Structure 1
Amino acid sequence: MAYDPRMAYDPNRLLSDGDVQAGKAPGWWGDDGRLWREFTFDTYQAGVDFAVRVAAHAEAENHHPDLLIGYRKVKVTYFTHDAGGITALDLAGSRAVNDLYGA
């Protein structure tokens, strides 16, 4: 998503489907106004450790994804409740989570 100087930047602005598709991090999917990715791990504990790192990042950024921990996998879902869908904050979160995963 390119910044358009004619528009005031608002990270809480609801993004169009095109903006989401253009700006989402590799491996992420967007549907029903949500942005999600499932991460896999060699062990259950490795997945839990990853979820804890994601939670710490979310606290630092004050933008919290839903985390679903399963056996050797963690699903991370971003959705900005106040906007009713995906915003630039969610795209930034997806990139940060990819960095935490090393992808």
Structure 2
Amino acid sequence: MKLIDQHCTHGAPALDPATIPARLAEVPEWQAIDGTIARDYAFPSYRATIAFVNAVASMAEAQNHHPDMTVGYRRCTVAYTTHSAGGALTDNDFICAARADAIYAQGPAA
């Protein structure tokens, strides 16, 4: 099943580090950095950036899995890790990464 079609689960176990490259291949713009996965997004305007941030926040609430986001003028960095798994990566991180990519692919909402 594709990541985008999955839902986050409470208590997801940490991934075996050997599986992370395969998961990253499913979200190719993301990079693994120090126990997180992160991606930078670019936008045509500040308003579009904030619309994306709000859409990701809504998705995060629905999935009960929240990213760290760094917001700037016409850009946003989204980073995921699973604190309940001791700061390790879980399937939840990759599910939400795929969902954030889908939001971005829809284009600016503002």
1:97 paired with 2:100, answer: yes
Task: Using CA pairs under 8 Å that are at least 6 residues apart, name the structure with larger relative contact order, 1 or 2.
Answer: 2
1:86 paired with 2:89, answer: yes
> Could you report, residue by residue, the CA deviation over 1:8-51 in whole angstroms, capped at 9, with x for unpaired residues?
xx961111333122112120000110010000001111111100
Paired with 1:98 and 1:11, the residues of 2 have a C-alpha distance of 24
Question: Matched residues, percent identical?
Answer: 35
Partner of 1:28: 30
Structure 1: segments with no counterpart, 5+ residues: 1-9
Question: CA 1:11–1:90 in 2, change beyond 3 Å: closer, same or farther?
Answer: farther
Partner of 1:64: 66
Partner of 1:12: 12
Larger deviation, residues 70-79 vs 16-25: 16-25
Paired with 1:29 and 1:95, the residues of 2 have a C-alpha distance of 13
Matched residue SS, 1:82? helix
Paired with 1:11 and 1:75, the residues of 2 have a C-alpha distance of 25
Larger deviation, residues 11-20 vs 43-52: 11-20
Runs of 4+ in structure 1 deviating by more than 6 angstroms, as ranges, are none
- Name the amino acid aligned to 1:81: H
Paired with 1:60 and 1:70, the residues of 2 have a C-alpha distance of 24
* TM-score computed with the length of structure 1 as normaliser: 0.84
Verify the 8 A CA contact 1:20 1:91 in the aligned structure 2.
no
